[in-house]
Amino acid sequence: MECKLVPSVCSYCGTGCGVLFEVINGKIVSTLPMKTHPVNEGKLCIKGWNLHEHVNSFMRLKQPLVKTFGRFIKTDWDEAIQLTADRFREIIEKYGPDSIGVLVSAKITNEENYLAQKFARAAIGTNNVDHCARL
Amino acid sequence: MTVKRITFLQELLGLLGLGGRLGLSWISSAEAQKFVQVVTDFTQKIKSLGPNPLSAFPEKRKAAAAGLLLEQSSVMPA
Amino acid sequence: MNNKVKAWLEDGTIDVFLGYKEVDHHPLPYCFTKERLDEVDDLLLSPARYSLEKIATHMTDEEPDIKIGMLARDCNSRALNVLYLWNQLNPDNVRTVNVNCCPSRLKEHGDCSYLEPETVGAYKRRVGVDNNLALKDVEAYDETERLDRWMYEFQKCIKCYGCRNICPVCFCKECSLEHDELVRTGPLLPDVPVFHMVRAVHMAGRCIDCGLCEAACPMDIPLRLLYQKVNQIVMDLFDYKTGTSVEQPPFSILGDTVTLEPKPIEPLKVINNE
């Protein structure tokens, strides 16, 4: 029997509530609010309470899918990234860099958000960057 | 089991101020007299208690929300 | 305490011990095992309280024969008693280390920060139900006022299901609050007061008055008062003190003996004003 209680931060919105995952035998079985966390003080909303269900969901995407002839086909990361890059280059060459916008998310970390805007400005060359938590 | 649950619920509804609006009685299909009596009594009781106060709540909520807004604006410095 | 836990883990009295340990400066529930015996020195009596018995139930779901030791405050012991009665845990497989209980109206001394009075604002005190009131003060309001005040509280509900999720004695695989016919998915304001009444009814003979639900409620609904009323009714009607009584709870189907009679339906005396 392996039972761990792993402190983490809720990945839903920008509030960043402290959650505690109950991991039994390597599987997350439940989510608890962290009582001493300064942000949520032991309270959570319905989304936070059900975080573990997303991890265990059978509908969760575990590998990239590429849409070919109207159907999603499983592929590996290298191919998926190559395809995306090729398509980006094609679009930029044809319509210019401002034809692409980058939307980032509160679900990822600050650093990843920073990288995303860097990617938009330096690699693509557009200022079209926005964020879902820019309310 | 039913009598336990209903007696319990009668008491609990009392906390919300909805007491007396729930009744329980066993009536056999042969006891027409009793059925009439129970239904008459209960109807009379419900009528004397007035309409269901819960049905007034959507309007009350709106009014309360408006009241809250007014209150806040009066408290706030001009 | 630490030596006792170590000895238990070493001689195989228990396989795991549920206690608290400081992780990233937060006192968090922690599962001590025989393999990492040194960690037992860090065992804490945390001021923050988690439902250890719920974790124990989840562990038992995975491995029914596991022997669990845990820290038990008064509320934990009461919850364990209820879980034994409802056959969720086997008392032979659980060992407890009893520790001081929280400060409350009942007890002055304790080492858990819980049950400090909640801060209640002026508006809530005027139109809602003050969380710190005693049950008899709430019942002193007249009927319409009581309904208004409780409805104000219930209408704040954001349906987070936190009260149910944190509850140490909520273990049903299928919950009526998730039943589409009873509580519909979608509308944000749940059907008040039905949502809370359904939960209150199901808490009869189960609620151990630990107050975790109220602490977890993001809208500060005085749930503890509501369930105190539930416990009071269960005490009055069935002479059953949840968490302390050892006989089957009044609403369990087995061992059903009914001594109650339905209340007579008496017509109210109509007051003639004329």
Nearest CA in chain C to B60: C148
Give the C-alpha separation, B44 to B28, whole Å: 22
Residue predicted with more confidence, A66 or C257: A66
pLDDT tens-digit readout, C111-124: 554 556 667 888 88
Interface of C with B in 19-48 (CB under 8 A): none
C256–B contact, CB cutoff 8 A: yes
Are C218 and A44 inside 8 Å of each other by CB?
yes
CB C203 within 8 A of CB C172: no
Measured at the alpha carbon of residue C75, what is the angle toward residues C71 and C76, in degrees to the nearest 5? 35
Residue with tokens 């209980």: C101
- Identify the pLDDT of residue A86: 94
Higher pLDDT, C94 or C255: C94
C55·A43 Cβ contact <8 A: no
Contacts of B57 in chain C (CB under 8 A): 151, 155, 192
Among A94-98, C56-60, C82-86, C184-188, the least confident range: C184-188
Q: Which of C59-68, C134-143, C185-194, C240-249 has the lowest mean pLDDT?
A: C185-194
Confidence of residue C40 (pLDDT cuts 50, 70, 90): confident
Range name among A79-93, C7-21, C118-132 with the lowest pLDDT average? C118-132
Q: What is the pLDDT of residue C274?
A: 44
Do A15 and A31 belong together in one domain? yes
Cβ within 8 Å, pair B9-C201: yes
- Closest Cα to residue C193, out of B67, B21, B18? B18
Residues of C in contact with A37 (CB under 8 A): 26
Residue C104 has pLDDT above 60, yes or no: no
Which amino acid does the sequence have at A123? A
In the predicted structure, residue C248 carries a pLDDT above the cut 90:
no
Q: Are residues A30 and A67 in the same domain?
A: no
The full set of domain ranges for chain B reads 2-75
How buried is A37 (Cβ within 10 angstroms: 0-12 exposed, 13-18 middle, 19+ buried)? Answer: buried
Two structure tokens written together for B9: 């619920």
B77 confidence band (pLDDT: 50, 70, 90):
very low
Chain A touching partners, 3 or more CB pairs below 8 A: C
Question: Can you list the residues of chain A whose pLDDT is less than 50?
Answer: none
Asked if pLDDT for residue C148 goes beyond 90, the answer is: no
The pLDDT assigned to B70 comes to 47
- Quote the pLDDT of residue B75: 40
Of the listed ranges A24-33, A117-126, C2-11, C100-109, the least confidently predicted one is C100-109
| Cα(C251)–Cα(C240) distance, integer angstroms | 11
Q: Which residue of A has its CA nearest to C48?
A: A35
pLDDT value at residue C237? 87
Which sign, positive or negative, has the C-alpha torsion C262, C266, C267, C271?
negative
Which has the higher per-residue pLDDT, C155 or A89? A89
Average pLDDT, chain A: 89
Digit-coded pLDDT (tens) for B53-66: 887 776 666 665 55
For A77, list phi and psi in degrees, rounded to 5: -65, -40
φ, ψ for residue C17, nearest 5 deg: -125, 125
Do A23 and A52 belong to one domain? yes
Distance CA C69, CA A3 (A): 13
* Residue among A6, A34, A35, A45 with most chain C CBs within 10 A, to mutate: A35
Which is it for the CA torsion C177, C183, C188, C191, positive or negative?
negative
- State the pLDDT confidence band at C255, using cuts at 50, 70 and 90: low
CA C149 to chain CA centroid, nearest Å: 23
CA pair distance C255, C240, nearest whole angstrom: 14
Residue C71 has pLDDT above 50, yes or no: yes
Q: Are strands A27-33 and A102-104 parallel, antiparallel or unpaired?
A: unpaired
Q: Say whether C23 sits in a helix, a strand or coil.
A: strand
Domain limits for position A22 = 3-56
Do C260 and B45 make contact, defined as CB atoms within 8 angstroms?
no
Q: What angle do CA C43, C48, C54 make, to 5 degrees?
A: 80
Same domain, residue pair A9 and A51: yes
Q: What angle do CA A44, C56, A53 make, to 5 degrees?
A: 40
C-alpha C152/C-alpha C173 separation (Å) is 31
- Residue of chain C minimizing CA distance to A46: C160
Euclidean distance between the first and final Cα of chain A, in Å?
45
The answer to whether the CB atoms of C265 and B45 lie below 8 A apart is yes
A66 in the same domain as A51: no
pLDDT at C133 over 50: yes
Token digits of residue C173: 């695989």
CA angle B16, C137, C166 (to 5 degrees): 65
* Beta carbons of A32 and C62 less than 8 Å apart: no
- ipTM exceeds 0.85, yes or no: no
- Contact C48/A43, CB-based, under 8 Å? no
For the segment B8-47, what is each residue's pLDDT rounded down to a tens digit?
888 898 888 888 888 888 899 999 999 999 999 889 888 8
Per the structure, how many domains does chain A have? 3
> Closest Cα partner for C145 from C126, C173, C121, C171?
C126
Q: Residue B46 corresponds to which tokens in the numbers above?
A: 């419900």
State the pLDDT at residue B63: 61
* CA pair distance C155, C151, nearest whole angstrom: 6
**Dihedral, CA of residue A65, residue A28, residue C44 and residue C212, to nearest 10:** 110
Cα–Cα distance between C10 and C5 in angstroms, integer?
Answer: 9
